[in-house]
Structure 1
Amino acid sequence: MVTQDTQQQFGDYLKGLRQSKGLGVRELARRAELDAGGITRIEQGKISPTLDTLKALATALEVPSSDLFTMAGYVTPSDLPSMSTYLRTRYGLPEETIASVDEYVQRLIDERGLDPNGPAPFEDESENPSKK
């Protein structure tokens, strides 16, 4: 379920991504073959993008569609592959490099006291019903 907080976070993310590419709303709309007003409403957190819109935006922004799906709340952290699987599949890195990255990530998790499975329900402030 996509929450209002997720919509706003995605809108902020999309706007930052668009600006980092040096694109205005109209140019992004032209490249994605979408309505500029719709993109503005997405960036303002007023509406959630459809899957087709996300695909068009990903192509226009030259980013993986999976990144946009995740940021828009269509893919949850628990649905994502492990870092090792991702590095092996995406980049074909040798096992010793993957082991080194795994060790580094584990050290960060331990140092910062992070839960690699993500927050428990309502632990993440964006899901806290008292904030609504």
Structure 2
Amino acid sequence: MAKGKVGKTVGSLGDYLKEQRQASRLSLRQLAEQAGVSNPYLSQIERGLRKPSAEVLQQIAKALRISAEQLYIRAGIVSPEEVPGAPERSVELAILNDPHLNERQKQSLLDVYASFLALNTTTEKE
């Protein structure tokens, strides 16, 4: 299959993007329009046939309302070690890289974790 030609990282990126698109209840056409890319190009990304640029990933992340960093890591543009930030970044990366969780579970955990951090920040300021 042609998917193997671009690489495993891109294939997992495509699977991840498709799951995020479906979770957002967007059609391929809707996401392509919001991200400013063509339907065929987005379809090829989802099937692992194309490796998108960082700029395209940023546009897709914005349309899906997810972190561009997540997409950069999944695409192999940056490694998890290169992502600057506080220790909470390692928690987020551990969740993202856990093979025992599906994408919806990962996003749920990330959302809960972010809400706890926000709550603690608010509480500390008082």
TM-score > 0.5, shorter chain as reference = yes
How far does the alpha carbon of each residue in 1:49-107 deviate from its partner, in whole angstroms, 9 at most, with x for none?
111100110111011111111111111122134662548xx84646xxxxxxxxxxxxx
Give secondary structure in 2 for the equivalent of 1:74.
Answer: coil
User: Which residue number corresponds to residue 57 of structure 1?
Assistant: 60
**TM-score in terms of structure 2 length:** 0.63
**TM-score in terms of structure 1 length:** 0.60
2:16 pairs, out of 13, 18, 22, with 13
Structure 1 gaps of 5+ residues are 95-132
Letter of the structure 2 residue corresponding to residue 32 of structure 1: A
Task: Quote the RMSD (CA, aligned, Å).
Answer: 2.5
Letter of the structure 1 residue corresponding to residue 52 of structure 2: P
More helix by share: 2
User: Which residue number corresponds to residue 25 of structure 1?
Assistant: 28
Structure 2 gaps of 5+ residues are 1-5, 92-113, 122-126
**Identical positions, percent:** 30
Give secondary structure in 1 for the equivalent of 2:37.
Answer: coil
How far does the alpha carbon of each residue in 1:17-42 deviate from its partner, in whole angstroms, 9 at most, with x for none?
11110111000011111111000000
Q: Distance in 2 between matches of 1:55 and 1:82?
A: 19
Rg larger for: 1
